[in-house]
């Protein structure tokens, strides 16, 4: 019984040692494969979080306590950095959307007053052209949006 217990402990230690060797590269891959430190590519958030869930599940297996603490800190830091990047990106997208919405609304107001003051069909056609421009901005997914005028 004692021999079996010690044998099981040794196997557990060997298993924990083998397991920990592959942890650091997996955690580092979270940053390198899915992060974008330079802002040059679109992040793959869904893939990042799927990979993070796999790593999180690995923590349920055998691992020395000091390794667990160190690796969990690295893992948590990486996940927190991704969360912060997602928050910043969301805030930026909301600000961009709000700015574009205001520009469209401005174009619509301009068309409204143009039509309200129109004395002939040429002026109404100008108001229609303004509305068409605002509609095109929305339909095109904002392509060429900065070329308004």
Domain boundaries, the chain: 2-147
More confident residue, 117 or 29: 117
Q: Strand, helix or coil at 117?
A: coil
Kindly indicate the confidence band of residue 67, based on its pLDDT and cuts at 50, 70 and 90: confident
Rounded CA separation 11/27 (Å): 25
More confident residue, 138 or 7: 138
Model confidence pTM above 0.75: no
Kindly indicate the confidence band of residue 114, based on its pLDDT and cuts at 50, 70 and 90: very high
More confident residue, 99 or 18: 99
Which range (26-35, 48-57, 97-106) has the least confidence?
26-35
Q: Torsion over CA of 130, 132, 136 and 138, rounded to 10 degrees? A: 80
State the CB neighbour count (10 A cutoff) for residue 34. Answer: 19
What is the structure's pLDDT at 145?
61
CA 2 to chain centre: 53
Rounded CA separation 28/26 (Å): 5
DSSP 75-96: HHHHHHHHHHHHHHHHHHHHHH
């Amino acid at each position: 019984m004692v021999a079996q217990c010690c044998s099981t402990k040794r196997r557990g230690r060997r298993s924990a040692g083998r397991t920990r060797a592959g942890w650091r590269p997996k955690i580092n891959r979270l940053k390198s494969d899915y992060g974008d430190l330079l802002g040059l590519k679109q992040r793959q958030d869904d893939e990042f979080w799927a990979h993070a869930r796999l790593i999180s599940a690995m923590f349920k297996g055998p691992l020395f306590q000091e390794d667990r603490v160190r690796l969990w800190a690295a893992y948590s830091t990486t996940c927190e950095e991704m969360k912060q990047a997602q928050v910043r990106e969301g805030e930026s997208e909301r600000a961009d959307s709000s700015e574009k919405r205001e520009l469209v609304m401005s174009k619509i107001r301009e068309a409204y007053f143009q039509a309200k003051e129109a004395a002939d069909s040429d002026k109404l056609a100008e108001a229609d052209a303004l509305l068409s421009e605002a509609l095109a901005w929305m339909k095109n997914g904002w392509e060429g949006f900065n070329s308004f005028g």
